Structure 1
Amino acid sequence: MNTMTHKGYTARIDFDERDDIFVGRVLGLRTIISFHADNVARLRAEFEAAVDDFLRDCEEQGIKPEKPASGRLLLRVPPEVHGAALVAAQAAGKSLNQWATEVLQNAAQASTA
């Protein structure tokens, strides 16, 4: 997956072969923020402008801008998965939080490679 990042917001980039343009969409938000351009330099400029416009609109409306992630994650898993994860974390000499963070980070990096 191709991505761009600006001010903590990440966009997924795809190529629309039919229209011969790059298309981007900011990930992790309920608000839809999309943009497009016919070259990479223009696409980056459009992405940055879209994020900046979003942040400016939020400020003008007096609302807190939605962030892609807070850093807190609540998971509900079967007890046997929880137990196995706890054993794996302890075997690695880590807390469950440290272990889970590493596992999630590795999985996320593998899926974007």
Structure 2
Amino acid sequence: MKYLEYKGYTGSIEYSPEDNLLYGKVLGIRGLISYEGETGKLLEDDFREAVNNYLADCKEAGKTPEKPFKGSFNVRIPASLHQKAALLAMESKTSLNNFVAEAIRSRVTKEPA
């Protein structure tokens, strides 16, 4: 899937055949920032306008805008998997955080089969 990028925000690209419309939302934040357009260009324009409006609204309200994908998140896994990962990390003389980051990096950068 391709995404839209603007000012550090990432937006999805969806299509509604019923409405013959492209639409999306900003990803990685709790708030809802949505946009739409009849063409790719109009979708991109509305995405940028939505992000700009969100940032302006936050500034006007004196609030700090949410930052997507801050680099930390909670992961819930079975205790047995946690144990195996922690022990492998110790054997590799690295932290569990670095071990998990490397596992994710390996999966994310892996070429599709």
Name the TM-score, length of structure 2 as normaliser.
Answer: 0.80
- Report how far residue 14 of structure 1 moved: 0.5
Aligned length: 110
Equivalent residues in 2 for 1:34-53 (5 A)? 34-53=34-53
2-structure distance, mates of 1:5, 1:89: 34
Match of residue 10 from structure 1: 10
More divergent stretch after superposition (90-99 vs 56-65)? 90-99
Q: Does 1:70 align with 2:70?
A: yes
More divergent stretch after superposition (88-97 vs 16-25)? 88-97
Match of residue 26 from structure 1: 26
- Report how far residue 93 of structure 1 moved: 5.6
2-structure distance, mates of 1:39, 1:106: 35
Give the letter for the 2:46 counterpart: E
Unaligned runs of 5+ in 1: none
Give the letter for the 2:64 counterpart: K
- Report how far residue 75 of structure 1 moved: 3.4
Root-mean-square deviation (CA), in Å?
Answer: 2.2
Give the letter for the 1:39 counterpart: T
Contact 1:2 1:14 (8 Å CA) reproduced: no
2-structure distance, mates of 1:75, 1:81: 12
1-structure distance, mates of 2:49, 2:105: 29
More divergent stretch after superposition (22-31 vs 49-58)? 22-31
Q: Judging changes above 3 Å, is the alpha-carbon distance between structure 1 residues 20 and 27 closer, same or farther for their aligned structure 2 residues?
A: same
Q: Does 1:86 align with 2:82?
A: no
Higher relative contact order (CA 8 A, sep 6+): 1
Unaligned runs of 5+ in 2: none
Q: Percent identity?
A: 34
Give the letter for the 2:22 counterpart: F
- Report how far residue 107 of structure 1 moved: 4.7
